[in-house]
Each structure stands twice: as structure tokens, then as C-alpha cells.
A and B are shown apart, each in its own frame.
Chain A
Amino acid sequence: MQTRDPSPQTQDHMVRLEKQIDNLSSAFNWLAGGAILIMMLLTCADVVLRFFRHPIPGTYEIVGLMGAVGASLALAYTTVKKGHIAVEFLTRRMPEKVQFIVAAASDMVSTLLFGIITWQSTVYALDLKRTGEVSLTVGIPVYPFVFSIAIGCFLVCFVLVTDLYRSVKGITQ
């Protein structure tokens, strides 16, 4: 039987795509780090100013929304770095080929999950935009922050697809 390896050209494309996805994940992660620093600085400023009876209005809601940015934009980077908690107790003892099959199946389920989350978060964001939902005290529109979840999850889909590609390559080799 002929080898089922993808042609060198497709492999080359995949390597380049993977690199771009990695770069984009890192860029998003920078923004996530920035969001966490803003949370820290804003909260400290609010606490200090509160002593002088001039708290910053809307601190809690801004910090919460920054949390949404931080978590969703770090999602892809965390996935690239294999940072999500997983249990290796059983799979570690399996033959390598079986490990790849199991990994491919898990990547497929995960991709499907993040596809649905991307889609539903987009729907939810558009919904909030239409109804004009804003935060309670300072009236910041909420929908862009739901969009950031959709964007973060969309990138996770790409990360998972490249993982899936690697697992499938592991099975066929």
C-alpha cells in the first residue's frame, strides 16, 4: 500500500499555519496579561482613593469585564502550551498508536465543543448588542466582551485542529 503521508507541500503549509496560530495565540496572551495588570492597578487605585472618599465609580464591573478579556484571550495560549488539567494515568500505559487514536478522538470532541461555544457566544453577543445591554454603574456596552470570548474560542478551534492533524499523522505513521 502507498504511504498515506500528506505531500511535503501540505506539510509545509501546515507547519506555516501552526506557526501563525502560535504567534496569534501569544499575541492574544499579551493582551490577556495586560488585562490582568489593568485589573490590579485599577483595584489598587480604587482602594487608595476610597480612603480619601473618592472611589473610582464602576471599578467592580470594569474589573469583571477585564477578567473576561483576560481569561478568553489566554485560552488559545493555554491550549497551545498544553496547560489544561488532564488525567494521564491511564493513557500513559497504552501503546503509542492507541494514544494517538484516543488523542484524535478527544481533539475532535473538543473542537466540536469550542465550535459550539464560538457560535453561541457570537449569537449571545449580537443579542446583547441589539438589546443595548450596558454595565450597571458606568454604562459600558457588554457585547464586545462576549465577542472577546467568541474570538478566543475561535482561535482555540484552530489550535485544536492542528493538534488533531498531528494526532492523525501519528496514527498513520
Chain B
Amino acid sequence: MSPTVIGLIGVAALFILIFLRMPVGFVMAAVGFVGFGSVVSFDAAMSIIAKDLFSVFGSYSLTVIPLFVLMGQLAYHSGISKRLFNAAYKFIGHWPGGLAIATIGACAAFAAICGSTNATAATMGAATLPEMKRYNYKPELATGVVAAGGSLGILIPPSVIFIVYGILTEQSIGRLFMAGILPGLILILLFIIAIIIWTRMRPELGPKGPTFSARERLSSLSGLIETLLLFVLIMGGLFLGIFTPTEAGAIGAFGTLVLALVGRNLTMKGFMTALFETTRMSCMILVIVAGATIFGHFLAVTRIPFDIAQGVSEIQLPRWAIMLIILAVYLVGGCIIDSLALIMLTIPIFYPVILFLEYDPIWFGVIIVLVTQIGVITPPVGINVYVVSGVARDVPLDVIFKGVLPFLAALIIGTLLLIPFPQIALFLPNLMG
């Protein structure tokens, strides 16, 4: 058998095993191992599997993952989300739909210290849903806004998806983080516009909340300032090249811990939960990275990525059309496969194509994050929707999916804006040295 045929059999086996519910990381390692053994030799495969695992688990650049996860978990368990929402809500709660807009603002601020969509959605859901219910917000707006706002967790740095993409493609994590900031701001704006239009059309969705005095407003700001300080410290250090991403993560986690302890917002139980969630999530991510590494070695010896890039070069299509096809694959795939796993599976195949078409790899990272955001709020496996439904147990799933629709439209517009205007993503990273 030629290596290409073995490669195709391997890819088929990969998908069959994944759909039979074997953990994605295990599947990639197993298929990679057997495939590499069949193409090269099993002696080589034996030694490569142990070396790959140690090189991934013991890699300094990958330690950025547990540290940023820890930072997000500590923020989650120390009630920062409540203080952020409190500040936003005192300022704009009295607008029609104001609590929903405040939720978007608080989600964005929380996303600036947390790199995962589900952690952001879970913590913001717990902080904001009871308030929106108290002021008679309709469940579809209340839950939809949390699910969509939570997805900002991976666009506004830090971001687990940017970290993993950066590691897989050997791009600078610092640059990717910077690239997320402006698209993040634009998306916040689009989300707010979606809320304003929706509540104009159906004012009963989001009635006005109470008005607060200037003094109450000012005193609520302290909750925002600590988060802003942490964000500026970490991103500033990365932007100026003072820290490695791992150092930024360590300082961020430590800073969040100190703030939580000084403010007496973290119990011992909360700390232990945060730590154990961190080991579990980091281990899950690293297992997939290790699996993808082993599988990548197999794919490389089959020449399949090369053949695909070659094939694409012979297609008589403009490059934006190929980009739209790639986006379609992510949108459909994102509906049935977990986003992180989907990225790991597709990057080795699509990334050479992206480079061949001369798209900017940093820009493509932002695009990947945006389609992932779409993936986490679309049925049937929209993880954020399930997270929100876990918090709001009285709201049926289909109501949440309905509530997400206007934000889905905003996300699609945001993604399409980036295709003709890549500068939105690339402006900030290009300012870096």
C-alpha cells in the first residue's frame, strides 16, 4: 500500500472511532501510532509515542495552558463576575434592554481575565440571570445574551483557543492575543446593536431597570478597576515583550489569587475546586495536543497535507471562495464536534492551504476563534447553551437556542467583516516589534 492510501484509511478510522465516542485525544494517538507504524516501522512508532508524549507534557511553552486556565478558574470562584456586572448595571441598567447590554459588558470584562467560553458563560449566568429575572426580562433574551456573551471568553485575550492554535501552527501567542482585541470590541458593539434592535422590536423582552445615583455608580467602579489593572499588566507585558506567555499566565493567576484573598472573596473550598478544575481542563487539553502531535507525525509521512495543498492549487476558484468553503466546513463540523477537537483535527490539513493561499496565519487564527464562537452557541452541541441551561434550569433548551439567534447573526456579520478587512485583526499585532 502506498503511504497516501494508508493515510486515507487512517483518516477514515479516525472519524469512525471519534463518532463511536472514544476520547478524541486517545483516537488521534492510537491512529497516529498504528498509521506511523504501518508507513515507517513499528519500532519507530514505539519510540515516537513515548518521546512525543514527554515533549508535549514537559514543554515549557505549553505550561501557558494550565496557568491561564488557573487564572480563569480563580476569577470564576472569587465572584469577580458579580462585581463586574454590578458596575455595568449601575450605569446602564435603566436603559431599555440595559441589563442585557450590561451583561455583554461584564462578559467582555470577564473575558479579559478568562480564556474559556464555558467558564465565562457559567459564571456570568450565575451572576446576571437572577437579576434579569427580577426585572422581568424574558428568558430568551436573558439566556441568549449570556450564552453569546460568554463566547467572548475566547476572542478577548487571554484565550485557550488562541494558545492552542498558536502552539499547533508555531505562531506567537502574544500576537494572537493582540489580534483578538479589536475584533472583540467590534463584536461587543454588534452584540449591543443586536440587543437594541431586538428590544426596539419587542420592548417587553427587556424592560427598564432602576436608576442609580452618581455616587452609587462611582462606588461600583472599584469592581471594574481590579480587573482592568490585571488585564493591562498582562497584555502590556506581552505587548512590550517583557513576559513570555507562560509568565503572563503565572502573573495573571497569582494576581487574581492575591486580589481574591485581599478582598476575602475566595474560600478554601473555592480555591481547591478552582485548582482541581484546572488540573482536569489542562490535562484534557494537553492530551488532545499530544494526540494531535502523534497524529501529525503520521500525516506528515503520508504526504496527505501536501497533496491537499497541491490539489487546492489546481482548483480554479478565487481564494475567497476557498476560504468560504473552509468556513463552511468549520460551521458544519462545529455543530457536531467539540470546537477544540475540531481545530486539532483540521489545522494540520487546512493550515498548509491557508499558507499556500497567502492568508495571514494570525488573521486566520482570529477567524478560527470566530467560527468557534459560532460553534459553541449553535445546536446540537453548542456547549455554551448547555452551560446556560445548567444555570437556568427552568428555561427549555429551545428557548435558549432561539434567544441566541440575533447574536448568531451578529457573529456571522463580524466574521464576514474580517474577510475584506483583515486589518481589523492585524493592526495591533503589527504594532508589536
A residues bordering B, Cβ < 8 Å? 29, 32-33, 36-37, 39-41, 43-44, 46-47, 60-61, 63-68, 70-72, 74-75, 77-78, 81, 83-91, 102-103, 105-106, 109-110, 112-113, 116-117, 120-121, 123-124, 145-146, 149
Contacts and interface: CB of A to CB of B under 8 A. Distances in A.
Contact of A87 (B49, B53, B276, B338): B338
Contacts of B57: 67-68, 71-72, 149
Given A36-B67, A117-B53, A106 B58 contact: no
B281 to A, nearest CB: 8
A70 B59 CA distance: 12
A80 to B, nearest CB: 10
A39 B22 contact: no
Contact of B53 (A29, A36, A37, A149): A149
A146 B53 CA distance: 9
Contacts, number: 180
A43 B22 contact: no
Interface stretch (B140-148, B162-170, B283-291, B347-355): B283-291
Contact of B22 (A78, A110, A149): A110
A95 B337 CA distance: 21
Contacts of B47: 120, 124
A40 B282 contact: no
Interface in B334-350: 336-338, 340-341
What secondary structure prevails in chain A residues at the interface with B? helix
Interface in B273-330: 275-276, 278-284, 286-288
Contact of A146 (B30, B50, B283): B50
Given A36-B282, A84-B25, A109-B17, A41 B53 contact: no
Contacts of A37: 275
Given A47-B247, A120-B49, A84 B54 contact: no
B205 interface: no
Interface stretch (B196-204, B221-229, B248-256, B421-429): B248-256
A123 B58 contact: no
24 contacts: A33-B275, A33-B276, A36-B275, A40-B250, A43-B67, A67-B59, A67-B63, A70-B279, A70-B283, A81-B280, A84-B287, A86-B18, A86-B22, A87-B338, A88-B21, A89-B19, A89-B337, A90-B19, A102-B21, A113-B29, A117-B29, A117-B49, A117-B53, A124-B51
Contact of B20 (A32, A83, A102): A102
B95 interface: no
Contacts of B30: 109-110, 112-113
B24 interface: yes
